Amino acid sequence: MAVEVVSDSEFQSILEQNSKVVVKFSADWCGNCKLFAPKFKRVSNEAENSDMVFLDINAEKNPLARKLAQVDNLPYLAVFKDGVYLDGSASNKEEYLRGLMAQL
């Protein structure tokens, strides 16, 4: 599944409409965010993850989503189940991403 780039205005409705949501928060100036983007995209395209929605949100331009996920550094990875924030942390490690996804 492709990674969707979304804003605050779409974020809440996506959480309400999807059971399993994986989010990468980033910023245009963040080098580690850019380096992690291809890994995030590759994981999102894996067949076993087809039941999850993958989102990319610019943390600087979307304060409501940032607050909901408790973003404190970038890149920040978070998971939501049935609209509820489960867990997240600043990381650019694929292993951490997979660990978060296992919670879903």
Residues 6-49: pLDDT tens digits? 999 999 999 999 999 999 999 999 999 999 999 999 999 999 99
How far apart (Å, rounded) are the C-alpha atoms in residues 49 and 33?
Answer: 21
CA distances from 89 to 27, 51, 65 (A): 15, 22, 14
Res. 91 pLDDT band, cuts 50 70 90:
very high
List the domain range (segments joined by +) for residue 26: 4-102
pLDDT in tens, 21-33: 999 999 999 999 9
How far apart (Å, rounded) are the C-alpha atoms in residues 2 and 55?
Answer: 9
**What's the pLDDT score for residue 31?**
97
**Higher pLDDT among residues 4 and 2, named by residue:** 4
Residue 47, domain CATH? 3.40.30.10
Catalytic status, residue 33: yes
Choose the catalytic residue: 3, 33, 79, 101. Answer: 33
Catalytic status, residue 44: no
**What's the pLDDT score for residue 77?**
98
Choose the catalytic residue: 3, 15, 23, 30. Answer: 30
Counting the structural domains of the chain, the total is 1
**What's the pLDDT score for residue 1?**
73
Sign, Cα dihedral of 57, 63, 64, 67: positive
